[in-house]
Amino acid sequence: MNKKKRIVIALGGNALGNTLPEQMAAVKITAKAIVDLIEEGCEVVVAHGNGPQVGMINNAMAALSREDVNQPNTPLSVCVAMSQAYIGYDLQNALREELYNRNIYDIPVATMITQIRVDSDDPAFQNPSKPIGHFMDAAQAKIAEEKYGYIMKEDSGRGYRRVVASPKPAEIIEIGAIRSLVDSGQLVIACGGGGIPVTRQGNHLKGASAVIDKDFASCLLAEELDADFLIILTAVEKAAIRFGKPDVKWLDDLSVEEAKAYIQEGHFAPGSMLPKVEAAVRFASSKEGRTSLITLLEKAKDGILGKTGTRIHQ
């Protein structure tokens, strides 16, 4: 019997939208793309980002603590947990409906609240770089620094934003539970928003003020589940060299070495395409036969059939 191909999908911002109504509409399209892959005979595991959502939750919780003196500020790790539940709810609701619409009744859908351990001495903690939440002017930024101890950085002439550390994922705490569900044929949503960052203190896991990159978290999930494919679904059909320039070249098929060379030459923007290509290279290098694919959400099926996207392999 042919073993089903196991795929970890990393959903980007465009799969989820920026607001509550946008997300509710977006997940319907996302669910179609995912169930297309299931109908192709793939075993699918879903991970996703949370940039706009965690910013929104963080701002809402900050507003609550401004209004009510009894409510202290909400730790970022808790905001990530809230975003996992909120996004997981919309996704599992839409996926279940889409499966039923196609007369597939034997694949239960579940979201796993996922903690991911990071190293407390990860250098990222000394150099917070990931902007979250809304833009502020200089005066608002100063208040945020003084009142909440946020680190604020000017963001390319557009104003100030809070920046947080983005450490590398070291260990998925709930991997055993995720594996059991996946192995028994369930459709699992896990490692949302890059996972809830925690550091180990003996038996205690302490929430960290950080946001893990979802591309790296998805890569670790794919490695741990011994997946065949890591598919990073985003807002472009392919990664490119000389992106945004007249002589742009869209990339179809890359060896790990070619991809590494393009990374060295600085073709991929940090914070957007670079972590995807880095995660794709890491997964493809991790074991023979593993392939990474970067493509557009709507092209996921064409991508898996080898018709489009940027493929990275050994």
Closest contact distance (angstroms) between CB of 120 and ligand ADP is 26
**Active-site residue 214, yes or no?**
yes
Q: Does 49 participate in binding ligand ADP (rule CB under 6 A)? A: yes
**Distance between CA 131 and CA 155 in Å, rounded?**
8
**Active-site residue 299, yes or no?**
no
Q: Does 12 participate in binding ligand ADP (rule CB under 6 A)? A: yes
Site for ligand ADP in 19-48 (CB under 6 A): none
Q: Which stretch binds ligand ADP (CB under 6 A): 28-36, 37-45, 57-65, 263-271?
A: 263-271
Cα torsion 262, 263, 264, 266: sign: positive
DSSP letter for each residue of 124-143: GGGS--EEEEEEE-HHHHHH
Given candidates 23, 268, 282, 304, which one binds ligand ADP under the rule CB under 6 A?
A: 268
Q: Which is nearer to ligand ADP, 119 or 250 (CB)?
A: 250
C-beta of residue 161 within 8 angstroms of C-beta of residue 138: no
Q: Where are the beta strands (DSSP E) in the chain?
A: 6-11, 43-48, 109-111, 115-117, 130-136, 151-154, 160-164, 171-172, 187-189, 196-201, 204-207, 229-234, 240-241, 249-250, 253-255, 291-296, 310-313
State the number of binding residues for ligand ADP (CB under 6 A): 14
Q: Does 13 participate in binding ligand ADP (rule CB under 6 A)? A: yes
**Active-site residue 28, yes or no?**
no
User: How many other CB atoms are found less than 10 A from the CB of residue 102?
Assistant: 13
Q: Which is nearer to ligand ADP, 17 or 144 (CB)?
A: 17
Closest contact distance (angstroms) between CB of 63 and ligand ADP is 25
Picking from 191, 232, 236, 222, the residue whose alpha carbon sits closest to that of residue 285 is 222
At residue 198, φ and ψ (nearest 5 deg) are -135, 150
Closest contact distance (angstroms) between CB of 11 and ligand ADP is 8
**Active-site residue 13, yes or no?**
yes
Distances (CA, A) of 2 to 40, 41, 306: 13, 10, 19
Distances (CA, A) of 277 to 13, 117, 207, 311: 17, 23, 28, 10
Q: Which is nearer to ligand ADP, 59 or 272 (CB)?
A: 272
Q: Does 260 participate in binding ligand ADP (rule CB under 6 A)? A: no
Which entry of 32, 238, 276, 301 is annotated as an active-site residue?
A: 276
Q: Does 130 participate in binding ligand ADP (rule CB under 6 A)? A: no
Q: Which is nearer to ligand ADP, 27 or 239 (CB)?
A: 239
**Distance between CA 10 and CA 48 in Å, rounded?**
5
**Active-site residue 5, yes or no?**
no
At residue 207, φ and ψ (nearest 5 deg) are -55, 135
Q: Does 273 participate in binding ligand ADP (rule CB under 6 A)? A: yes
Q: Which is nearer to ligand ADP, 99 or 280 (CB)?
A: 280
Give the SS3 label for residue 234: strand
Given candidates 269, 305, 306, 314, which one binds ligand ADP under the rule CB under 6 A?
A: 269
Binding mask 215-254 for ligand ADP (x = CB under 6 A): -------------------xxx--xx--x-----------
Two tokens at 277?
A: 């290509």
Q: Which is nearer to ligand ADP, 36 or 237 (CB)?
A: 237
Closest contact distance (angstroms) between CB of 124 and ligand ADP is 17
Binding positions for ligand ADP, rule: CB under 6 A = 12-13, 49, 234-236, 239-240, 243, 267-269, 272-273
**Active site members:** 13-14, 130, 214, 276
